[in-house]
Structure 1
Amino acid sequence: MNTPGVCMSIMEERNKQEGRGSLSNPEMFLQQDYQQLTQYCLARGVRYIDDMFTPDRNSIGQDLLSPTDMARVVWMRPRSIVPNPEFIVEGVSRFDFGQGIVGNCWFLASIGALTFQNHILEQVVPMEQSFDEDYCGLFHFRFWRFGKWVDVIIDDKLPTIDGRLIFVHSVTPNEFWPALLEKAYAKVCGSYADMTAGTPAEALVDFTGGVHICFQLNEAPPNLFQLMQRAAKSKALMGCGTPQGDTSDNTVSTNGLVDGHAYTVTGIKQMLSRGTAVQLVRLWNPWGQGEWKGDWSDGSPLWQSVSPQDREMCQSVRDDGEFWMTMEDFCRFYSDLDICCLCPDFLDESSSCHWKPSFYDGRWVAGTTAGGCMNHRESFWTNPQFRIKMEGLEKQCEEKQGSNNMLVSLMQKPDKRNRRLVQSLHIGFSIFEVSSVTSQPSEYQKMRGKFPAAFFNSHAPVAQSKNYMNAREVMEFFLLKPGEYLIVPSTFRPNETASFILSILSKAETHVHENSGDHDHDHGIQVEKPRDKENGHAHTADEEKKKVLFRQYSDQYEEVDAEKLQQLLNQQILQGEMNGDGFSLDACRSMVALMDSSITGKLNSEEFVRLWKKVTLYKDIFFKTDDDRTGTLDLSELRNAVMAAGMRVSDDMLNLMALRYGASSGHITLDCFISLILRLECMGKIFKQLSDGKNMALRESEWMYISMYT
């Protein structure tokens, strides 16, 4: 039996806190242990075959090859392709490989950038691997995937037709690191076909776990060339793309550039041409051929206008896919520039300003925490909220206070293994000011928990993403003054379920926490709770009536079991107020277990009266929060009902309750709501009794004792 998802979620969070998923301690992708599998294969003298990414048509994927070509595919190990395979031959270079029939130029362009930074390359490609010592047909690579580093294992069976690799291939026939790296990434994407179409930013982030910054070149900042120079100096990876042509095909334009194609930025150089400074950008086509034909191309006469030293250093007259062009032509013929680095310190001219990163996982769940954009005023407040306190800039950065001091990035995490099946939602975020050093104290400064709709009705965003985009990631730079802010990430439409990573980078010291839980204000829900001390005679008489009714259903020992409780609740207490068949027998068994202090499987009269009071209280809450009078709570009403019951829950807990107790229609019936609240209250009391207030330690027998009965 697989581990329940809620347990896996707790384990992943604990692993993260303990450093699992870091570069030095990556998680095992699909739970495959490289060391263990290597030892197993070597001990038995066998060649590894990956049963999680099998060498067959499923790993190639759909619609990539024709049926005729698919039938011709043979999966071969490198030793069957060439007599002397090598993992790496004479170092790693962008000129080592060329693209195959997969439309993954975005991935290969990113590899081209990776080859310039050996320290990053060695993070992704463990260099100790070979076809000689301890070879067993098993290789591994590391990628950053949505918040954590994973170690990905593959066998070295590669798809061929007529003995030739059909996907990425090396210029040197016996070099195989590019093909094996591509196969490992195909595995995390789901198949080779799932690598079709993308942007360099995706792979650049997966190679570094760093910060991605995108510049739209039609509105490039005036100092973009200087930014690129500093980025190159800080060992950032850079990629770019040309705009799509009239069709989705990679058509080669008359100027030599390919439409809708990814390229690698491989050089930035300013040189003198006839006494005038010229800003040049060097680019590389991952096809390994096909180059720019305009000014400063390989054969351009303009190379005769520079010094012999610059010409010797930069000009290369061969069709290897690499060429130079001016900064003006770069911004004219390319659409976007992606820069990926561990920290964007290159954005500042002064090296004394340092950006401080922080990362947060979150989730939108339809009906509870997926409120949509600000067009949906009634539900926008239900989105996840992150409260951030930003202090003043460090002294060495004060002179640059007019520049942007915060970068916010929102990345959506896929809910499917296969990359091309992932439906990207339109996502964005808004930033609201709670207080600042220059403003009057706000009533919301001392509020704990989620800010209500009233806050967003009276506060406009002070910053936000420009557009809601159906992209893997949206990011924006901002200039914010010291103070407290609320960042609200959202999907464009409400009720769209997805997970996300919110990244916040700031020049100033910042403190961030998720603004979850309940509100500290009156919601207009007034519930009259039972009064134990006032009007004692009426209270006693009421309890006696309950006990008289109880005796009509109890046995000779004045106890009721789950079956009798079911009759009593449905026929007497909640008669005519149930939307459906009433409490199920299983729900009544659960109530008995929650209220049964003597562990007899039955309730006595005192326990029953306590249960009756709770059922009556929660019934009143249910109907007072059922705003549309449907006899059920939709998931957006659930939050108010839980808070009216006097309980404080996080967004994550609210999402779990909605998934566990909500019907497929997204509505919660009275019986389900009462069962939910009773369990929530009981489990909270159990924790308080058995814990130190923060942590709880149980022996296995104790854990099973509690979980199997309650």
Structure 2
Amino acid sequence: MYDLRKSPPDLYRIIQKALERGSLMGCSIDITNTFDMEAVTFKKLVKGHAYSLTGVKEVQFRGGLVKLVRLRNPWGEVEWTGAWSDSSSEWNQIDRSECGQMRVKLEDGEFWMSFSDFQREFNRLEICNLTPDTLKSDKVHKWSTSLYEGAWRRGSTAGGCRNFPATFWINPQFKVHLKEEDDERDGTEPGCSFLVALMQKDRRKLRTAGKDMETIGFAVYECLGQSAVHLKRDFFLTHGSRARSDLFINLREVSSRFKLPAGEYLIVPSTFEPNKEANFCLRVFSEKLAESEEFDDTISANIVQEEEVPEHKIDEKFKSLFRQLAGEDMQITVKELQTILNRVVGKHQDLKMDGFSMDSCRCMINLMDRDGDARLGLTEFNVLWSKIRKWLGVFRQFDLDKSGTMNAYEMRLALESAGFKLNNHLHNLLITRYAEPDLSVNFNNFICCLIRLESMYRSFTMLDTDRDGVVTFDVYQWLTLTMF
């Protein structure tokens, strides 16, 4: 969409290329009040009508080139009466054969006018760029297109715009590799032309629930040499954008055209404010073939194997404490573990939580229980205690505001520090499961999340005997894994 009062200097070339690629174009004259609708100007243009732009031509006129555009009023009858209109004298001063091909004296609503008059008389130009599957003709130069479906979700992928540097980096990220420069330069700097179109999906369905369009936009960064992993906050704090959408606006689709040097670029679509949820579709149209991909982390886990210390090497004070807590059977049950942990955590005033839940303690015992009796012996409890101390250090490190809880974005960094790299979809699932309604994550939920991740990853690794990243199991194994 172009405001013709602020159009780019190469707009005429943009129109030419759009027509070559079968794009649909419409233009209109703005109305200022209801009385303007259908009003006819002095030179017979109708305000508020949607004219279509159907052709362009440069002709020799009085010793120079004149840029012309062909427009059509679908209603017919009323046509432009200014320069280059059907009956104007300008046609008598150009080549006869060219005149015969272009000039049609019919009241069919179609007419020519100079590009300068077009920019002066009309206010708005909209270009609809069609995907290759829409274009059946072999005569048109088809766009190279890439399409990605995505979503902004609270706490995991809805980071807001660049005004929010603490969370902007969590937005979905897409790379486009522009390899070939445009064929025709017209005296301009060499570069690669491409369009970015960001559309929010399904919003009309949500109007019944009182939800309108979100305010959306995007930014484009140069990312030469970056591996295809989700870029973190530091990248965006040290790199400025090379281009961006003209504005953030609550329209169904926001699109912009750019021309940048050949290279690799990162597109970051976002809502204006963080934690605004919506599904979106991102399309990139390029004049030449361009490669693209989504930047996301590959799922992996770097789990440090805690060494099980023999009983005779365990500190005597720890042994004495364990005897007091475990009782005569020297085994800790789920209930006893809950009592122990809550007594210890209660001494840490900086942790905001109501204590460990039975579910968390059950998960811990399932992770550490080697003999399957749902209890922990001295050596098993010693390993678990080492893990909890280590994870407490991670929790405190990423509780950046020292609030006693982590927010959803801090948790993403904390999980990576603990050894787990997860993609956007998994982060969204974890936040849905372990975060409170205000997106805070307390120490109990953080520990429970890590325990489940480690337990599931260990189970997968055990079943993946040929290390190809794929396992096959029967219903018994599936139920064992998911229920216990």
Can you list the C-alpha shifts for 1:544-566, whole angstroms capped at 9, x where unaligned? 346424513x8x583513x3332
Aligned match of 1:654 in 422, 427, 435?
A: 427
Contact 1:546–1:609 under 8 Å retained in 2: no
Contact 1:362–1:384 under 8 Å retained in 2: yes
* TM-superposed deviation, 1:391: 4.1
**Aligned position for 2:251:** 471
Distance (Å, rounded) in 2 between the aligned partners of 1:243 and 1:406 = 29
Contact 1:282–1:324 under 8 Å retained in 2: yes
Question: Does structure 1 residue 495 correspond to structure 2 residue 275?
Answer: yes
Can you list the C-alpha shifts for 1:81-112, whole angstroms capped at 9, x where unaligned? xxxxxxxxxxxxxxxxxxxxxxxxxxxxxxxx
TM-score (norm 2): 0.76
Contact 1:359–1:502 under 8 Å retained in 2: yes
Question: Does structure 1 residue 239 correspond to structure 2 residue 21?
Answer: no
Question: Does structure 1 residue 413 correspond to structure 2 residue 188?
Answer: no
Distance (Å, rounded) in 1 between the aligned partners of 2:31 and 2:422 = 48
Distance (Å, rounded) in 1 between the aligned partners of 2:265 and 2:375 = 52
Structure 1, 579-588 or 503-512: larger mean CA deviation: 503-512
Can you list the C-alpha shifts for 1:232-254, whole angstroms capped at 9, x where unaligned? 4543333334424235x882223
* TM-superposed deviation, 1:509: 6.0
Aligned match of 1:254 in 22, 40, 53?
A: 40
Contact 1:410–1:489 under 8 Å retained in 2: no
Can you list the C-alpha shifts for 1:269-313, whole angstroms capped at 9, x where unaligned? 77899999783423244xx57845644899x64499678995998
Structure 1 unpaired stretches of 5+ = 1-213, 436-444, 519-528
TM-aligned CA distance change 1:485 to 1:226, over 3 Å = closer
**Aligned position for 2:474:** 699
TM-aligned CA distance change 1:416 to 1:482, over 3 Å = closer
Structure 1, 640-649 or 307-316: larger mean CA deviation: 307-316
**Looking at both structures, which has the greater relative contact order when contacts are Cα pairs under 8 Å and sequence separation is at least 6?**
2
TM-aligned CA distance change 1:575 to 1:258, over 3 Å = farther
Structure 2 unpaired stretches of 5+ = 299-303
TM-aligned CA distance change 1:393 to 1:453, over 3 Å = same
* TM-superposed deviation, 1:588: 3.1
SS of the aligned residue for 1:640 comes to helix
Contact 2:157–2:170 under 8 Å retained in 1: yes
SS of the aligned residue for 1:479 comes to strand
Aligned match of 1:678 in 451, 456, 460?
A: 451
**Aligned position for 1:454:** 234
TM-aligned CA distance change 1:223 to 1:432, over 3 Å = closer
* TM-superposed deviation, 1:633: 0.8
Can you list the C-alpha shifts for 1:201-223, whole angstroms capped at 9, x where unaligned? xxxxxxxxxxxxx4443344566
**Aligned position for 1:37:** none
SS of the aligned residue for 1:369 comes to coil
**Aligned position for 1:120:** none
Question: Does structure 1 residue 217 correspond to structure 2 residue 4?
Answer: yes
**Aligned position for 1:558:** 331
Distance (Å, rounded) in 2 between the aligned partners of 1:511 and 1:544 = 61
Q: Partner amino acid for 1:411?
A: L
SS of the aligned residue for 1:460 comes to coil
Q: Partner amino acid for 2:479?
A: M
* TM-superposed deviation, 1:662: 0.9
SS of the aligned residue for 1:641 comes to helix
Identity of aligned residues (%): 27
Q: Partner amino acid for 2:126?
A: L
User: What CA RMSD, in Å, does the superposition of the two structures yield over aligned residues?
Assistant: 4.5
**Aligned position for 1:335:** 124
TM-score (norm 1): 0.55
TM-aligned CA distance change 1:680 to 1:352, over 3 Å = same
Q: Partner amino acid for 2:237?
A: N
Contact 1:406–1:504 under 8 Å retained in 2: no
SS of the aligned residue for 1:703 comes to helix
**Aligned position for 1:627:** 400
SS of the aligned residue for 1:361 comes to strand
**Aligned position for 1:358:** 146
Q: Partner amino acid for 2:343?
A: Q
Contact 1:250–1:261 under 8 Å retained in 2: no
List aligned pairs for 1:191-590, cutoff 5 A.
Answer: 214-220=1-7, 224=11, 228=15, 231-232=18-19, 234-246=21-33, 251-255=37-41, 259-266=47-54, 279-285=68-74, 291-292=78-79, 294-295=81-82, 301-302=87-88, 314-317=104-107, 322-326=109-113, 327-331=115-119, 332-342=121-131, 356-391=144-179, 393=181, 402-414=189-201, 416=203, 418=205, 420=207, 423-435=212-224, 445=225, 449-506=229-286, 510-517=290-297, 532=307, 539-541=314-316, 544-545=319-320, 547-552=322-327, 556=329, 558-561=331-334, 563-572=335-344, 575-577=347-349, 578-590=351-363
Can you list the C-alpha shifts for 1:6-52, whole angstroms capped at 9, x where unaligned? xxxxxxxxxxxxxxxxxxxxxxxxxxxxxxxxxxxxxxxxxxxxxxx
Count of residues in Structure 1 that have an aligned counterpart in Structure 2: 461
